[in-house]
Amino acid sequence: MDIEVNYKNKKRYKTAKYPLHQTKFWTYLIYFLSRCALIGKDYKVECIGMDELKPPYMLLSNHMHFIDFELAAMGTHPHPVSNVVSIDGYVIKFFLLEWIGAIATRKFTTDIHLVKSIRKVLQRGDILAMYPEARYSPCGTTAFLPDSLGKLIKMNKVPVVAVVHHGNHLYAPFWNFKAKKKVPLHTTMTKILTPEQIEAMSVAEINAVLKDALQYDDYRYQKERGIKITETFRAEGLHKVLYQCPHCKKEFEMDSQGSHLFCKACGKRWEWQEDGYLRALEGETEFDHIPDWFDWQRQQVKEEIARGEYHFEDEVEVFSLPRVLRYIPLGKAKLTHDPENGFRLEGFYRDAKYFIQRQPAQTNSLHVEYDFVPLKGRDCVDISTENDSFYCCLTKSNRITKLGFATEELYLLSQNGGK
């Protein structure tokens, strides 16, 4: 059983409320500001099968960077849009998000009211926009998509539009947002399901259509388009997602500088070439395609779990968000993650113990942040409950990508009865 934090102020930010309707003023202002933000960028928003489409509809998009919102606004204008937004987006600017009709949620929790808010937006005749991966893509490829999406679509029976951004990850990769690169951006907005099709399809069939429509691979996009990324700093930060050396198999010894990625344990180096592909400076190039290296690591985690060897433990510094005015520093705590118990966070605040547990079946993925600006640019994971969120900054370096893999694999095991 969880033991809640002994806050002086017991109030919580209420996520269980209906969003406001976005007024024309905000719709036009968002469009105008998004247009301004996109000035000077090479971008194209292509609408496919959307000529006759009028709201209400659901817009499901992949997620790579804040620029996703600006590009989506080009395709949805002049109709009001309610976006589902994570609670950390509300810090300080919560009134603004409420005015524009956003829906707040705590990531990877069972948020029953979220379903009601979505229905409300669609019943009003507006556009509901969601980023179902619920996190920025770590590697420019499709992240975990929950099967609950199919049920949500079946329940609402409105048209579904898939938005796939290409190039946004290359422009500003999640593992190094600061180092932006010159990359042409191409967004497709495609009507993938009509109410009639939804009516005739099973939830599993809807999920299959959705997963197919939301497939993307930014590195393949780069190769197919012949895009050259010539910035000399292009590989800096890449070791955050490629944390295991495929040569000596050591974990967390990878680092990056300039256009190079290297292993501090065995000294092997790779160059991230201008065409987006990797090349070992000496010997075999184990993976030239970055997502293949990323997926290989997932497989290693899966095997470690199967061997019964997976366990994580660290001292973390915790910042919580019971409300949204500021992050509350809770000091040091112990975070563990293992197949039997999932996440366990144990600490003290105002002379009282608190304990938070999320079982593997309770969380299908993990919210991670690389160089999280609100918390002094540190790597952190967010363990959320239904009424609080704990941002845990790790002491051990470069562990969060692996924690994400382990969370997803343990969830899948919990769903398949351990098979």
Among 54, 26, 62, 5, CA closest to 319:
5
The type of residue at 354 is Y
Using only the alpha carbons of the chain, give its radius of gyration.
Answer: 21
Please work out the total of residues on this chain that contact Zn ion, with binding judged by CB under 5 A. Answer: 6
189-228 footprint of Zn ion as x/- string (CB under 5 A): ----------------------------------------
Least separation in angstroms between CB 279 and Zn ion:
16
Single out the segment in contact with Zn ion by CB under 5 A; choices: 10-18, 109-117, 132-140, 238-246: 238-246
| Cβ atoms of residues 327 and 375 within 8 Å | yes
Single out the segment in contact with Zn ion by CB under 5 A; choices: 76-84, 191-199, 240-248, 287-295: 240-248
Decide whether 245 or 333 has the Cβ nearer to Zn ion: 245
Decide whether 129 or 301 has the Cβ nearer to Zn ion: 301
Decide whether 12 or 247 has the Cβ nearer to Zn ion: 247
Q: Is the peptide bond before 78 cis (omega within 30 degrees of 0)?
A: yes
| Cβ atoms of residues 345 and 392 within 8 Å | yes
Decide whether 235 or 263 has the Cβ nearer to Zn ion: 263
Least separation in angstroms between CB 266 and Zn ion:
3
Decide whether 155 or 265 has the Cβ nearer to Zn ion: 265
Helix orientation angle between 400-415 and 290-306, rounded to the nearest 10 degrees: 60
Helix orientation angle between 67-76 and 24-37, rounded to the nearest 10 degrees: 120
Question: Is there binding between residue 119 and Zn ion (CB under 5 A)?
Answer: no
67: number of Cβ within 10 Å: 21
Which 8-state DSSP code applies to residue 174? G
- Break the chain down into helix, strand, coil percent, rounded to 5: 30, 25, 40
Least separation in angstroms between CB 243 and Zn ion:
11
Where in 243-272 is the site for Zn ion (CB under 5 A)?
A: 245, 247-248, 263, 265-266
Least separation in angstroms between CB 253 and Zn ion:
6
Site residues, Zn ion (CB under 5 A): 245, 247-248, 263, 265-266
